[in-house]
Amino acid sequence: MIRYILQRLLLLPFLLVAFSIVVFAIVQAPPGDFLTTYVATLASSGTSISAEHIAALRHEYGLDQPVVVQYLRWMQNLLSGNLGLSLEYQRPNAELIGEQLALTVVLALFAFVVTWIVAVPAGIYSATHQRSAFDYVFTVINYVGVATPNFLLALVLMWVAFAYFGIGITGLFSSEFVNVPWSLARVVDLLQHVWLPALVLGIAGTARLTRVMRANLLDELNKPYVMTARAKGLKEWRLVLRYPVRLAFNPLVSTIGWYLPQLFSGSLIVATVMNLPNIGPLLLRALINQDMYLAGAILLIYCFLTIIGTLISDILLAWLDPRIRMEN
Amino acid sequence: MVAATPVTSEAEERISVASNWTLVWWRFRKHRLALFSAAVLIGFYAVVLCPDFFSTQDPELTDARQAFIPVQGLHLLDDNGFNPWVPSVAGKRNPVTLRMEWTTDPERKVRAGFFVPGYSYRLFGLIQTKLHFVGAIDQGQRIFLLGSDRLGRDQWSRIMHATQTSMTIGLVAVTLSVILGVVLGGISGYFGGLADQVIQRMIELLQSVPTIPIWLALSAALPRDWTPQQVFFAITVILSLVGWTTLGREVRGRFLALREEDFVLAADLAGASQARIILRHMVPTFLSHIIATSSLAIPVMIISETSLSFLGLGIRPPAISWGVLLQEAQNIQTLALAPWLLTPGLLVIVAVLAFNLVGDGLRDASDPYSH
């Protein structure tokens, strides 16, 4: 078990180096650099900037160096824990990302919890009450849930809330808590706001998990051991929860590996639509303005979160399933 | 077997001589919902073939005085039987907000009809024609079956053109990823060794990439001065870059299993070339499976494209796609004023739903062990 985890952990740095190269190549790829965009923005607002000044700035940011040198300098900074300076905001990237990263993770984890709390009971009910009215209702909701893009659901909810109830449901905090330091009241306020975005973010996953849970449980319910237990007079709900549900659970745990990373990525779109203070909108802005070090840092963080998500699921699965644990 | 009556043996014979595809079709036919969804998809692709025919007016025709006209619902019947019409609209400027306020008036009917002349276009890019599926009888009259947007463009006609882009992207991107998946997965599974190692590591790397952020970064890297056609092609490539990995894995697994089968050995001994063994003997055994998997991959592509375009990093105006249209609905105040701007979202849901149902039906039908 420990060897298995260590093996996975050893792979981590290699993956991160591979990703850092890919990420740098991508943020470096657009024609021109931050200064070209910057000059264009200035020109459109009517101010101009001298050629010498641009050259000086370019030298200062190291944008006149060959790509390889730029990459190595970036990596050097990263390894010493320095995420670099945002070209646009003129502030350290670490500071810009800081709190928003925590909110990204909180949102994804909330969505995850919502998903499981809804999906597992719904799946169990659907399987044990196959072809009942609720089973059909769940099935329809599942199909529509999978088919609805996140941002569309967010849009519809925001529109309904605004048009029929006259309230805005954007943001993660009430207006009086947006720019204040953390306190208990602020946490409570966050908890009041986070569940709706979490629901929007988790709906597609909930639908998928319910289907997986239902299908797995249906397979188990037809097996002879269930009939034996029933013949011995075990109470139905106790029987179902104690044996088949546990077996049907395993494949579900193995989905965490792709689901958790998907939540981190997916929160990007929901955050943009619902105006949440999350690293998603920050990334979008950085990409459009070619603020390459900020974009690079955020992309690497997404990669890191994805790898961690996969790692957690591998470990959980090995812990739950002896067949994987005993492989070595 | 001995006790089989003549009746069942006749039915059995029908099954035993039927080709694999016939068997798949028979099983698919039993799925009512999948069959219905397939019909819906055929309808979608009819629009894809010639969106102009289904449009009522030029999708780019703007008129600021006709902004945010509400939905003029198409009515098929009036007091004298079949006689299509839409209610007319009348606008009045609100003296306080200075905004045009439109009211529909069912008493004053605008005559509409099917297969009527309208603006001129080229059918399939070849035949010059003016014929449209539906439109106003009076050619000078603009009718807005799904309302108009902030520039007074006709939402209905724009949706028809958006359907063409969005549905094509899904199809092209999946075709690309099937080609990549089958070729690379095939090489990996059939030849094994170093090629297998390299391709497997590549798949692992691609699968641990956070898709949406990387897609966004790649689309942001596309030069701003590219033509809509170039952007369209680039987006499909970006979408299929990650999409092929799942299929690649499955194909590899199939090849690994089939490589040891007797019929492959037999073909090899009979002197068949490697290409012939792969294409003639191995691929057909899992072709139906590939088709089912890819029809389940198309909706993912459609949702991805819509999301990218919605964020302003996918298809860009003047090209029209569902995501581009939904960008107009980004502002909640606008949306409260003109809820019909959300209609492209409905089409996304219907299309994705239909693809998922057809895909499920195909998957069940192509699996010989299903009941």
Residues in A closer than 8 angstroms to B214, CB to CB, are: 22, 26, 299, 302
Residue of chain A whose alpha carbon sits nearest to that of B345: A152
* Residue contact B212–A268, C-beta within 8 A: yes
CATH code of the domain containing B271: 1.10.3720.10
**Size of chain A in residues:** 328
Q: Are residues B189 and B302 in the same domain?
A: yes
CB within 8 Å: A299 and B208: no
Tell whether B311 is within 8 A of chain A (Cβ). Answer: yes
Query: Residue B23 has which token pair?
Result: 């068997």
The CA distance from B306 to B347, in Å, is 11
Residue A74 contacts residue A24 (beta carbons within 8 Å): yes
Can you tell me the distance from the alpha carbon of A189 to that of A176, in angstroms, rounded to the nearest whole number? 10
Q: What CA dihedral angle connects B315, B303, B181 and A13, to 10 degrees?
A: 90
What pLDDT is recorded for position B371? 47
Contact yes or no for B352 and A146 at CB 8 A: yes
Q: Are residues B243 and B340 in the same domain?
A: yes
Check A30 against B208: CB less than 8 A apart. Answer: no
Q: Are residues B80 and B173 in the same domain?
A: no
Which long-range CB contacts under 8 A does B333-340 form with residues at least 24 apart? B333/A162, B334/B150, B335/A155, B335/A158, B335/A159, B335/A162, B335/A163, B336/A159, B336/A162, B336/A163, B337/B68, B338/B68, B338/B70, B338/B147, B338/B149, B338/B150, B339/A159, B339/A163, B340/B70, B340/B71, B340/B146, B340/B147, B340/B155
CB B75 within 8 A of CB B86: yes
A148 contacts in B (CB within 8 Å)?
348-349, 352
The structural domain count of chain B equals 2
Decide if A281 contacts A295 (C-beta within 8 A). Answer: no
> Is residue B356 domain-resident?
yes
- Nearest residue in chain A measured CA to CA from B335: A159
Residues B229 and B353 in one domain: yes
Query: Which helix (H) or strand (E) element contains residue B116?
Result: strand B100-123
User: Are the C-beta atoms of A207 and A142 separated by less than 8 Å?
Assistant: yes
Residue among A147, A159, A303 minimizing CB distance to B336: A159
Q: Which residues of B touch A143 (CB under 8 A)?
A: 353, 356-357
Query: What's the domain range around B222?
Result: 159-366
Same domain, B202 and B309: yes
The domain ranges of chain A are 31-82, 97-320
Separation CA B8–CA A326 (nearest Å)? 50
Q: Which amino acid is at A160?
A: V
pLDDT of residue A285: 84
Residue B34 lies in a domain: no
Residue A92 has what DSSP assignment? B
Q: In what order do the strands lie in the sheet with B75-78?
A: B75-78, B81-93, B100-123, B127-136
- Of B96, B119, B152, which residue constitutes the final position of a domain? B152
Closest-CA residue of chain B to A299: B213
pLDDT score, position B269: 92
Nearest to A197 by CA among A261, A122, A112, A140: A112
Instruction: For residue B164, give how far its alpha carbon lies from the nearest alpha carbon of chain A (Å).
Output: 19
Residue-level pLDDT, tens digit, chain B, 371 residues: 455 455 567 777 777 777 777 877 888 888 888 889 899 999 989 888 888 888 888 888 778 777 777 877 777 777 777 877 777 777 778 777 777 777 777 777 777 778 888 778 887 777 888 888 888 777 777 888 888 888 878 888 899 989 988 888 888 988 998 888 888 888 888 787 888 888 888 887 887 778 888 888 888 888 877 888 888 888 888 888 878 888 888 888 888 888 888 888 899 899 888 888 888 888 888 887 788 788 888 888 888 888 888 888 888 878 888 988 888 888 887 888 888 888 888 999 999 999 888 888 887 777 665 54
Main-chain phi, psi angles of A64, to 5 degrees:
-90, 0
Which of B129, B152, B175 is the C-terminal boundary of a domain? B152
Helical (H) or strand (E) element with A112: helix A93-128
Q: Express the helix, strand and coil content of chain B in percent, nearest 5 each.
A: 60, 15, 25
Query: What distance in Å separates the CA atoms of residue B115 and residue A179, rounded to the nearest whole number?
Result: 60
Q: What is the ipTM, given to two decimal places?
A: 0.80
Residues B173 and B230 in one domain: yes
Q: Which fold has domain A97-320?
A: MetI-like fold (1.10.3720)
Question: pLDDT averaged over consecutive 10-residue blocks of chain A (328 residues)?
Answer: 77 83 82 73 73 76 77 81 74 79 86 90 89 87 86 87 78 72 78 84 87 87 89 88 84 77 84 84 83 84 83 78 64
pTM of the entire predicted model: 0.83
Q: Are B228 and B355 found together in one domain?
A: yes
Residue B308 located in a structural domain: yes
Neighbours of A66 (CB within 10 A): 8
Contact B255, B190 (CB under 8 A): yes
Q: What gap in Å lies between CA B168 and CA A172, rounded to an integer?
A: 37
Closest in B216, B349, B357 to A287, CB measured:
B216
- What residues pair up with B123 in beta bridges, in sequence order? B127
Measured in angstroms, the CA of A220 and the nearest CA of chain B are apart by: 17
Cβ atoms of B304 and B348 closer than 8 Å: no
CA distance A176 to A157: 23
Mean pLDDT, chain B, whole residue set = 82
Per-residue pLDDT at A272: 85
**In the prediction, which pLDDT does B369 show?**
56
Orientation angle between helical segments B193-207 and B155-191, nearest 10 degrees = 150
Q: Do B76 and B215 fall into the same domain?
A: no
The residue from B152, B169, B200 where one domain ends is: B152
- B-chain residues near A26 (CB < 8 A): 214, 217-218, 221
For residue B8, tell me if it sits in a domain.
no
Q: Are residues B104 and B225 in the same domain?
A: no
**B188 with B320, same domain?**
yes
Is B165 in the same domain as B70?
no
Decide if A147 touches B, using CB distance below 8 A.
Answer: yes
Helix (H, G, I), strand (E, B) or coil at A105: helix
Do residues B214 and B278 share a domain?
yes
Q: Is residue B35 part of a domain?
A: no
Instruction: Map residue A39 onto helix, strand or coil.
Output: helix
- Which of A11, A15, A152, A288 should one mutate to test binding to chain B, selecting the residue with the greatest count of B CBs within 10 A? A152
The pLDDT score that the predictor gives to residue B78 is 76
